[in-house]
């Protein structure tokens, strides 16, 4: 393969792995991944050591965009409270899509059941960024216990992600009232 | 097979399916299930129409015991607040086990990604019992909005189940303070 062809195959495999793992689960087969990417299995194994490595790489590639769709933009000048609420407003909006299956980083970890799997490690690191964001805003917002508030918000984030992702719940009238209660209790006005 | 042999095979298959799906995920193969149960594939298909049906049946069989390990006993005379907190104290205790992978009903739904799968339906129904329990206690406890409080508590339940189940979080210093805050905000003393 030329360098360009390699890059094209690599990108298509990363995209197929992210899309299929999200829609169908990490159990998606190598054949299906290669078919969706239009890449031969031989080429796949030249680019990635294993399906596990492909999964991990696809999550890593995808993480910045997923995070960007949740956090306030660089030009945002809102209060810490508004910036934290922004994340949950995004979740509420995103969960309305019929293709919504919750947070991809949570789903991968639940499915793999192995914290040491390369994709679990990538997923945990991506989620760590969300925790750090909440922690920073909680500190700036004068939370009584910023570390606790940050953990609470990720707890609620993953709770709604899991429940709305499987169609057992919707955020309507639940998510923002819950987050507001926790922000109020922490003294973040 | 005699009726007794059938019952033995059926019980062993149900137990193997529950144990292996919990530890490894719903992708566990029919071969592995039959091997663990000591039952031939032929016998399995005489007892269950498909692996999907076996999965659903194993969750249904397991549900009463899982729920019983969470809810207060029939002889419990605690306040509604104490009875709701009891559930989370159980989660905290259970999550300390190295084999803990969170709520089996949540995991199955996240893994299957199909609300119409027979096992998803069973899992959703089992979770509905927990919601009903919280709703009833919230009403008895004078919550300002019992339906909202019940939804919030299941949200937190699934949040900690998912996060502790994948080893990303522990309930210590997080779960009970969060539940307490929500109970306080709802006016359940």
| pLDDT score of A1 more than 80 | no
**pLDDT value of position A30:** 97
Whether A158 sits inside 8 A of B156 (CB atoms) is no
**pLDDT value of position B184:** 98
Dump pLDDT digits (tens) for A39-55.
Answer: 999 999 999 999 999 99
| Contacts B161 to A, Cβ<8 Å | 162
Contacts of A25 (CB under 8 A, 6+ apart): A107, A111, B27, B111, B112, B113
**pLDDT value of position B7:** 82
Whether B110 sits inside 8 A of A110 (CB atoms) is yes
In the numeric block, the tokens 């990604």 are attached to B113
Contacts of B42 (CB under 8 A, 6+ apart): none
**pLDDT value of position A5:** 81
Dump pLDDT digits (tens) for B109-168.
Answer: 999 999 999 999 999 999 999 999 999 999 999 999 999 999 999 999 999 999 999 999
| Shortest alpha-carbon distance between residue A3 and chain B (Å) | 36
| CB interface of B with A, residues 1-20, below 8 Å | none
Mean pLDDT of all residues in B30-54: 97
In the numeric block, the tokens 């007794």 are attached to B4
How many angstroms separate the first and last alpha carbons of chain A? 57
Closest CA to B174 of A86, A145, A179: A145
Characterize B122-161 residue by residue with b for buried, 16 or more Cβ atoms within 10 angstroms of its Cβ, and e for exposed.
bbbebbebbbebbbebbeebebeebebbbbbbbbbbbbbb
pTM: 0.96
Nearest residue of A to residue B128, measured between CA atoms: A168
């Amino acid at each position: 393969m030329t360098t360009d062809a390699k890059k094209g195959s690599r990108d298509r495999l990363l995209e197929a792995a992210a899309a299929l793992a999200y829609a169908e689960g990490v159990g998606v087969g190598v054949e299906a991944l290669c078919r969706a990417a239009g890449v031969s299995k031989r080429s796949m194994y030249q680019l990635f050591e294993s399906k596990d490595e492909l999964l991990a790489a696809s999550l890593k590639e995808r993480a910045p965009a997923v995070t960007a769709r949740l956090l306030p933009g660089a030009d945002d000048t809102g209060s810490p409270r508004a910036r934290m609420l922004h994340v949950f407003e995004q979740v509420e909006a995103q969960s309305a899509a019929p293709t919504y299956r919750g947070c991809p980083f949570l789903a991968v970890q639940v499915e793999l059941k192995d914290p040491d799997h390369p994709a679990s490690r990538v997923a945990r690191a991506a989620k760590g960024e969300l925790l750090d964001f909440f922690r920073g805003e909680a500190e700036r917002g004068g939370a009584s216990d910023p570390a606790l508030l940050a953990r609470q918000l990720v707890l609620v984030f993953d709770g709604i992600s899991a429940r709305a992702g499987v169609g057992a719940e919707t955020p309507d009238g639940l998510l923002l009232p819950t987050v507001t209660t926790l922000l109020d209790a922490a003294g973040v006005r």
